[in-house]
Amino acid sequence: MYETYYNLACQPFANTPNSRFFFETDQHKEALAKLEYTVRNRRGFALITGEIGSGKTTLTRTLIRRLGSEARVALINNTRVTSAQLLRLIAGEFQIQVAASADKSVLLTAIRKFVEQQHSVGRTVVIIIDEGQCLSIDEFEEIRLLTNLETETEKLVQLLILGQPELRATLKHARLAPLIQRIVMYMHLMPMSFDDMTRYIAFRLVRASKDKPNVDFSRNALEVIYEYSKGVPRIVNLVCDNALLVGYSNDTRLIDSKIIRRAITQMLPNFDGVSTDLLGGEDEPARQELDDGRRI
Ligand SMILES: Nc1ncnc2c1ncn2[C@@H]1O[C@H](COP(=O)(O)OP(=O)(O)OP(=O)(O)O)[C@@H](O)[C@H]1O
Ligand SMILES: [Mg+2]
């Protein structure tokens, strides 16, 4: 809607885990490098936890793109399933043909055969489980059976599990100790720092623009975004997307703190009032604040 106005080719702050928009903060870069290392060196099992909306899924998409055709990847997003369903999903991702009536042991055998075949032709087999916080202890134990496949020097299945912070509580369970001992890399993703967020916003604008984006965010605007989002990328995206819409509707290419506050107020669902309308509506009372800071 506002893209042409700001000289953008597409929406810069779409909330999708698009690897083309992957921005390397220090911790995202480190997490990606460690995941890639685990997979390429066939080390076995990596775990990433992170706050809601901190970039876990985006990380997996970026990793998959980097691995390219040398790896066979099963990406499991739906973890509200039984352990048999989970194995079936994994088999499905690898396009392994199994009878609809196949039970857990049949599924496990089929997956193992597939893994060994892939290994014999030099391909790495990766199972990525996103939304790991929804898995139960039983499912984790089932998954552990897959990590048992190994040669003397390497693991045949690379298992990457990502999930929200509560995943840590599940993994503390005594029954999962054998699985935890197999973790070769663990990281917890935190929200971005203010400086990272500033660079993140600039990066996404440039990435989405035809040549140069025709929009500025004032320093105060950035501070309000940070105050509200606490550096969580998904919330930063939401605020910035709304702010661009408010700026466009107000015919200004300078996004200042007033626009940000208005965008935030209008995007919050007001369940007791009338629906929000970003383009129309009354002006909020002017705030006494100067917007003369650094621009990006
Ligand atoms: N490093 C990054 N580079 C670019 N965009 C990012 C990055 N991290 C997060 N995002 C953006 O933030 C949004 C939320 O990230 P993502 O869905 O990856 O978070 P998540 O940790 O998987 O969240 P949840 O806990 O809800 O599963 C993404 O749609 C993406 O647009
Ligand atoms: Mg996610």
Q: How confident is the model at residue 275 (pLDDT cuts 50, 70, 90)?
A: low
229, part of any domain: yes
11-49 confidence digits (pLDDT tens): 999 999 999 999 999 999 999 999 999 999 999 999 999
21, part of any domain: no
CA-atom Rg of the chain in angstroms: 23
Q: How confident is the model at residue 285 (pLDDT cuts 50, 70, 90)?
A: very low
168-210 confidence digits (pLDDT tens): 999 999 999 988 888 999 999 999 999 999 999 999 999 999 8
26 alpha carbon to ligand 2 midpoint, in Å?
19
Residue that terminates a domain, selected from 164, 189, 214: 189
116 alpha carbon to ligand 2 midpoint, in Å?
30
- For the CA of 24, the closest atom of ligand 1 is 1
Residues 163 and 197 in one domain: no
250 alpha carbon to ligand 2 midpoint, in Å?
34
41-59 confidence digits (pLDDT tens): 999 999 999 999 999 999 9
Mean pLDDT of the chain: 89
Kindly give the interhelix angle for 194-208 and 219-229, rounded to the nearest 10 degrees: 110
Res. 281: pLDDT tops 70:
no
Residues 65 and 157 in one domain: yes
Kindly report the protein residue whose alpha carbon is nearest to atom 8 of ligand 1. 55
197 alpha carbon to ligand 1 midpoint, in Å?
13
The answer to whether 156 touches 125, Cβ cutoff 8 Å, is yes
20, part of any domain: no
**Does the Cβ of 163 fall within 6 Å of ligand 1?**
no
Res. 133: pLDDT tops 70:
yes
Q: 141 versus 286: which is more confidently predicted?
A: 141
258 alpha carbon to ligand 2 midpoint, in Å?
31
Res. 131: pLDDT tops 80:
yes
72 alpha carbon to ligand 2 midpoint, in Å?
21
Nearest to 158 by CA among 89, 67, 265: 67
The pLDDT of residue 61 is 95
- For the CA of 131, the closest atom of ligand 1 is 27
Number of domain units in the chain: 2
The pLDDT of residue 286 is 36
The answer to whether 236 touches 225, Cβ cutoff 8 Å, is yes
**Does the Cβ of 16 fall within 6 Å of ligand 1?**
yes
Residues 4 and 34 in one domain: no
CA–CA distance, 248 with 271 (Å, rounded to integer): 26
Residues 171 and 55 in one domain: yes
Q: How confident is the model at residue 288 (pLDDT cuts 50, 70, 90)?
A: very low
Residues 146 and 68 in one domain: yes
Identify the CATH number of the domain in which residue 33 sits: 3.40.50.300
Residue that terminates a domain, selected from 134, 168, 189: 189
Confidence (pTM): 0.87
Read off the pLDDT of each residue in 127-138 and give the average, rounded to a whole number. 92
**Does the Cβ of 21 fall within 6 Å of ligand 1?**
yes
CA–CA distance, 60 with 161 (Å, rounded to integer): 10
**Domain interval for residue 124:** 26-189
Residues 230 and 259 in one domain: yes
Task: Tell me the CB-side half-sphere exposure of residue 153, using CA atoms within 13 A.
Answer: 2
- For the CA of 16, the closest atom of ligand 1 is 29
Residues 169 and 231 in one domain: no
39, part of any domain: yes
37, part of any domain: yes
Residue that terminates a domain, selected from 126, 158, 189: 189
Kindly give the interhelix angle for 257-267 and 233-249, rounded to the nearest 10 degrees: 110
CA–CA distance, 38 with 47 (Å, rounded to integer): 10
290 alpha carbon to ligand 2 midpoint, in Å?
37
The pLDDT of residue 290 is 39
19, part of any domain: no
Kindly report the protein residue whose alpha carbon is nearest to atom 13 of ligand 1. 234
Element housing 246 (H / E): helix 233-249
Res. 279: pLDDT tops 80:
no
Kindly report the protein residue whose alpha carbon is nearest to atom 15 of ligand 1. 55
57: tokens are: 């899924």
**Does the Cβ of 170 fall within 6 Å of ligand 1?**
no
Residues 112 and 176 in one domain: yes
Residues 50 and 125 in one domain: yes
**Percent of the chain residues past pLDDT 90, beyond the cut:** 75
208 alpha carbon to ligand 1 midpoint, in Å?
17
The pLDDT of residue 292 is 42
Residue in 206, 234, 241 to alter for ligand 1 test, most ligand atoms within 8 A of Cβ: 234
Residues 31 and 178 in one domain: yes
- For the CA of 52, the closest atom of ligand 1 is 25
- For the CA of 13, the closest atom of ligand 1 is 31
Residues 182 and 244 in one domain: no
**Does the Cβ of 276 fall within 6 Å of ligand 1?**
no
Residues 162 and 227 in one domain: no
